[in-house]
Amino acid sequence: MEKIAADVKKMGRNSLAIASHAGKLDQLKSLVDKVVERLRKIDVLVNNAGTNFFMNTIDMTEKGWDSVMNLNLKGLFFLRQSVAKIMMENGRGHIVNIASISGVKVQPSSGHYSIAKAGVIMATKVMALEWADYNIRVNCIAPGAIKTRLYDSIFSFFGEEADQAKGDFEATIPLKRAGEPREIADAALFLSSQASQLYDRSNSGY
């Protein structure tokens, strides 16, 4: 985070890196307070924190359930609550929640993850409806397979056959490849920018 923040500063932009656990509410409040203290307002919130592990629901423990729900859904819910109050004071804001295709289509041996991501999709609909009058736009991105360490960890269970298993899986994707993180970042950037908004023709010239 600090390396990225330094790169941003080299571009002449303000930047702030803060370590925080998205599943712990006391840390979320501190995170929001520090950002507002330094930057004075929050225009965009991207809820991207998430985790997963593989376990059949019949064997699910309370600790396993809580670890996924707290980070993927509970943290998202309460972080956007704190940030939305700041956005309401400013009269505008953009929130982008990162869900997953698993929130629509069950991911085998990972039902708790699918349940959490389905909750993210519904939370997005609730936020968008409740906060529209405050000029806060809320959208959700639900990616499929994306090349990340989390994605690679899925195939680590195949041992020496990991590359073959990954290749066989990606062959089932219409584009014959997993997505790149940049593709999700670009979508989030679009949804957080004026490019995704409708303009009043009299003011915009469009």
Question: Average pLDDT of 159-182?
Answer: 92
Assess contact for 52 and 113: CB atoms under 8 A. yes
Higher per-residue confidence, 30 vs 206: 30
6-31: pLDDT as tens digits: 999 999 998 999 999 888 888 999 99
Percent composition of the chain: helix, strand, coil (DSSP 3-state, to 5): 60, 10, 30
Of the candidates 91, 77, 79, 76, the one whose C-alpha atom is nearest the C-alpha of residue 41 is: 91
Write down the mean pLDDT value for the chain.
Answer: 89
The tokens for 27 are 């840390």
Q: What gap in Å lies between CA 147 and CA 19, rounded to an integer?
A: 23
The tokens for 61 are 């423990």
User: From residue 11, how far is each of 4, 14, 186 by CA, in Å?
Assistant: 11, 9, 19
Instruction: Tell me which H or E stretch contains 41.
Output: none
Q: Give pairs for 51-60: CB < 8 Å, separation 24+.
A: 51/150, 52/110, 52/113, 52/150, 53/110, 54/109, 54/110, 54/154, 54/157, 55/109, 55/110, 55/112, 56/109, 56/111, 57/111, 57/112, 60/111, 60/112
Of the candidates 119, 113, 39, the one whose C-alpha atom is nearest the C-alpha of residue 80 is: 119
- Please state which of the ranges 53-57, 74-78, 199-203 shows the lowest mean pLDDT: 199-203
Catalytic entry in 113, 134, 151, 199: 113
* pLDDT for 78: 93
DSSP reduced 3-state for 98: strand
pTM for the model? 0.87
**Residue 45 pLDDT greater than 90, yes or no:** yes
Q: Is position 113 annotated as part of the catalytic site?
A: yes
Question: Average pLDDT of 159-183?
Answer: 92
Question: Average pLDDT of 40-68?
Answer: 87
Topology, domain 2-144+179-195: Rossmann fold (3.40.50)
Hey, what's the torsion of the CAs at 98, 102, 108, 113, to 10 degrees?
Answer: 40
Single-letter amino acid code for the residue at 183? E
**Residue 135: φ, ψ to 5°:** 65, 35
DSSP reduced 3-state for 46: strand
**Residue 53 pLDDT greater than 80, yes or no:** no
